[in-house]
Structure 1
């Protein structure tokens, strides 16, 4: 059983029993089961949009069923220790945000061990460049472009927002982002203990400037407004060292930051709470969609 299945299993058993769906648990992973609950009436999907030439450089775009003129656009990056993940598994995130009027791009990116840092950041920047170039044709405003991520994906989003090297390489700057959202992100994780992450960052040769907290201290005055959410009980990414310290650092240097840690979720169920069956755990969707839909400053 994977860590993801373990994290969801107990919480989902009660819900499945109430709906008479317990037999499906043996046949479906929690993500597939949650995605099976996604409403088809809230959105349309433009799948398999290439933002580069590699098979992993593709994205799915979730469009609100009722388009809003000048809608915000969110580019979402999922987690998985930079070594696993598929955009199709995060249909529930695309639907959740699209149901709130947000054009949402769920992007794959190349993974370790096939690549190493900073290739996944380069891919993420290419995906954001593609989103900016297609925003108007997708019904979104280029001035309301956000990056959003969970776990390793929150790291990707943070580095695009805080370290200008990556967007500069695609002829953009962090100032072109209307904001960014990090969910349970690792922002200060040296030294590296996780074997998969050691490979992804070539530990112990990992550069110090690979850390979002380092970049925040250097570039905070140019950082876009920020929403940081986490789980108090997160046993994978320490929320005090990462979420709270980054929030305090950015705020002290003048960046507009909203931050909250929730009690009833874990590292995994924090993103799971975006899905309809788990929204009672924490108001993650309300916080994220409220941030993205706020009028431009």
Structure 2
């Protein structure tokens, strides 16, 4: 079923009563590479994150935002719309292909997530409400971390403790950069260990899938997400939904950001 997202609903989210007297600070270029870990200069350069957080008040939900760029480009970012919304926002950088393999990039994402959880108290972050999001390649990383538990387990964290996964136009079959590593054309879809769909499971955290218009999205991105939703439902996952932004193409970040905030509020309330 199509979900019709109306613009006036976004306007409500934009002005939804966020406290204005809280002060915020942004700290940039925090390394999440372990000091005792042997790391290349490239890893030390790329494996950094920026944190935007409130400097007073009670601890707030944490949102890790993974940037897009096909796993071959892009850089860490904190979307301006998410700032000063009573959240701890983390913009994560990671290594890129072809300098490293896709699996190495997923491991970077897991390491960053674990680092943020372990250091959350410094930034007034609520570790019981950790959300992972991101656009395109970033959404792919969010899904891989939540569905294939082994990546976060290797970093000492249980993926089932995540409060929610909210990916924007994520690849759910094997990522095209992973296919390229294997000499497979971008137009040839496959599902293997580097596909979120391969790891469909009942007890995954709540998942809200966001995509652009099925007629405007790149390749079959809407259909991939619809298939993931269907398969999660079949295995008994009870907290998954799909929202399609009609009239928007793959670059559907802005209409998605107010919905991201709304979904975080809903999921935090349900967890109380």
Q: Mark yes or no: TM-score above 0.5.
A: yes
Tell whether 2:74 aligns with 1:85.
Answer: yes
TM-aligned CA deviation for residue 176 of structure 1? 1.8
Tell whether 2:233 aligns with 1:251.
Answer: yes
2:262 alignment partner, SS class = helix
Give distance in 2, aligned partners of 1:74 and 1:287: 14
Give distance in 2, aligned partners of 1:246 and 1:117: 20
1:21-170 matched pairs, under 5 angstroms:
43-52=24-33, 54-64=44-54, 67-87=56-76, 90-91=77-78, 93=79, 95-170=80-155
Runs of 4+ in 1 over 6 A off after TM superposition: none
- Structure 1 residues not aligned, in runs of 5+: 1-40, 274-281
2:263 alignment partner, SS class = helix
2:46 alignment partner, SS class = coil
Give distance in 1, aligned partners of 2:106 and 2:262: 26
Tell whether 2:265 aligns with 1:293.
Answer: yes
More helix by share: 1
- Structure 2 residues not aligned, in runs of 5+: 1-21, 34-38, 185-189
Question: Please, what is the CA RMSD of the aligned residues?
Answer: 2.3
| Partners of 2:102 and 2:178 within 8 A in 1 | no
Using structure 2 for the length normalisation, give the TM-score.
0.79
TM-aligned CA deviation for residue 198 of structure 1? 4.0
Cα deviation digits, residues 85-118 of structure 1 (max 9, x gap): 111xx34x1x322322110110010001100120
Cα deviation digits, residues 231-261 of structure 1 (max 9, x gap): 0144424234211111122123232012210
